[in-house]
């Protein structure tokens, strides 16, 4: 199953399960960042996430991006579930920037 379909299925659940920090996690981060960053921005707005070295640092970047763009974000149930899945992870695992970019450049599930 493709990552976008996997994420969509997970977000349709009443209470999504913890997704860990594998491929689906980094893809989800990319999807959330894509949704948070205004569409008229260039890809350099994603550099902080791509330069994060650990999941903990990446989570901090997602939080800051959300806070910075909060006024323009249309929050919905799927988005809230995705944010919760991202924010519950705290570890020092390395970041997979390729899967983050895949999430950024794939059609949004939100």
> pLDDT for 61-98, tens place per residue?
999 999 998 888 888 999 999 999 999 887 888 999 99
Confidence grade of residue 1 (pLDDT, cut at 50, 70, 90): low
| 34-58 confidence digits (pLDDT tens) | 999 988 788 888 999 999 999 999 9
pLDDT of 40 reads 78
- 7 vs 93: CA distance, rounded Å: 21
State if pTM tops 0.85: yes
- 21 vs 55: CA distance, rounded Å: 8
Confidence grade of residue 102 (pLDDT, cut at 50, 70, 90): very high
pLDDT of 18 reads 79
Answer whether 83's CB lies under 8 Å from 10's CB: no
pLDDT at 28 over 90: yes
Q: Cβ–Cβ contacts within 10 Å for residue 67, how many?
A: 11
pLDDT of 43 reads 86
């Amino acid at each position: 199953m493709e990552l976008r379909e996997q994420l969509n299925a997970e977000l349709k659940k009443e209470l999504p399960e913890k997704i860990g920090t594998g491929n689906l996690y980094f893809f989800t981060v990319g999807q959330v960042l894509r949704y948070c960053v205004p569409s008229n921005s260039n890809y350099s707005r994603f550099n902080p996430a791509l330069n994060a070295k650990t999941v903990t640092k990446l989570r901090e970047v997602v939080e800051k991006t959300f806070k910075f763009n909060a006024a323009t974000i249309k929050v919905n149930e799927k988005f809230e579930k995705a944010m919760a899945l991202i924010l519950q992870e705290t570890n020092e695992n390395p970041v997979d920037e390729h899967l983050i970019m895949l999430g950024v450049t794939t059609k949004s599930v939100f």
